[in-house]
Amino acid sequence: MRKGATLSCQRLRADFHRKTIHMSHIYLLSPSSAVRDKAALRRGVKRLEAAGHQVEVDADALNRDTRFAGTDAERLAAIKRAAASGADTVMTTRGGYGLSRLLPALPYKAIAKSIDKGTHWVGFSDFTAFSLAVMAKTQRVTWAGPAVVEDFGALDGVDEITNLCFDDLMTHMSEGTGWRIGKDDPTAFSAQGLTLWGGNLSMITSLVGTPYLPAVTRGALFIEDVAEAPYRIERMLTQLLHAGILANQKVIFLGAFNRFTASPQDRGYGLKAVIAWLRAHTKARVITGLPFGHVPTKVLLPVGQTVDVAATGREVLVLWSHDHTHAHHH
């Protein structure tokens, strides 16, 4: 919720001798909404190739069936092809809506097998449904991170921090992130062995009461959303509160909540009021400023990974190990 966050993708790897980036095999698919900006997709592919990666675009990535990137069957088939591709990274072209329809039929065993063999599944927004379902059903780690069209295909270039964090994942050097926190955030605390999980708040709340929401205790929950008015954000948080989910979190990281229109009804009620309400109703530490969401600067976050969290002064660090396959949420 704050701009100007300073990131530590670079800082955490400062002690490493940087190797030449090895060529990674990246598989791109469209499991949600149809790609409208084909030029942005082409730009994204070119930039990834220019960085030395081998990019494979799924045969149906540009399909359209009304608002979706193909029928449910076609999008499921694309996920199966991605799982069988042997790629280092599977990344979505874009978010939107559509994965919720596919959750009962996802090829969970094939996805888990691909992760065990080293494939990183990366995306955000609608991809939250996929990540949390995979975590709940297979206890495997996926990554909240960039999408091709919005990030690598951006007209004014790829955000430097997003690029660096993605580079760290490609070179197997991703082991944490950090940022400057808000002036009202807790400044001196640490917690070990938390389960990092979360994503888009609308998608998380849509999974409450389903088998696709992981049962997380000692959680580090991160949330973001787009085009949702503050009262709607609070209403979703009340659902997580009343469902007992917030009570199981030790820390809540707030990413970007943007692109909404204020209402005359609000009379000064806004995101600050939502944060104050959240702090009053949960024992979890609430940390703002997470560089993640529908914004250019995105850190990459391993969904389901065990992490250590430490806030000192005006910064918070979230650290994880190199074991990026199995989630820990029981």
Give the catalytic positions in this structure: 125, 224, 294
| DSSP letters spanning 25-84 | EEEEE--SBPP--HHHHHHHHHHHHHTT-EEEE-TTTT--BTTBSS-HHHHHHHHHHHHH
Q: How much helix, strand and coil, in percent to the nearest 5, is found in the chain? A: 30, 25, 45
In what side-by-side order are the strands of the sheet with 54-57? 54-57, 25-29, 89-92, 120-123, 142-144, 301-303
Q: Give the SS3 label for residue 281.
A: helix
Rounded to whole angstroms, how far apart are CA atoms 231 and 115? 38
Which single residue is written with the structure tokens 């009570």?
247
Spell out the residues 6+ positions from residue 52 whose beta carbon is closer than 8 angstroms to its own.
21, 22, 23, 24
Helix (H) or strand (E) holding 133: helix 127-138
Question: Roughly how many angstroms between the first and final C-alpha of the chain, as a whole number?
Answer: 30
Question: DSSP label at 326?
Answer: B
Give dist(CA 180, CA 316) in Å, integer.
Answer: 7
Helix or strand (DSSP H, E) at 252: strand 249-258
What's the CA angle centered on 310, arms 305 and 312, to 5 degrees? 155
Q: Which residues are CB-neighbours of 44 under 8 A, at least 6 positions away?
A: 93, 148, 149, 151, 152, 153
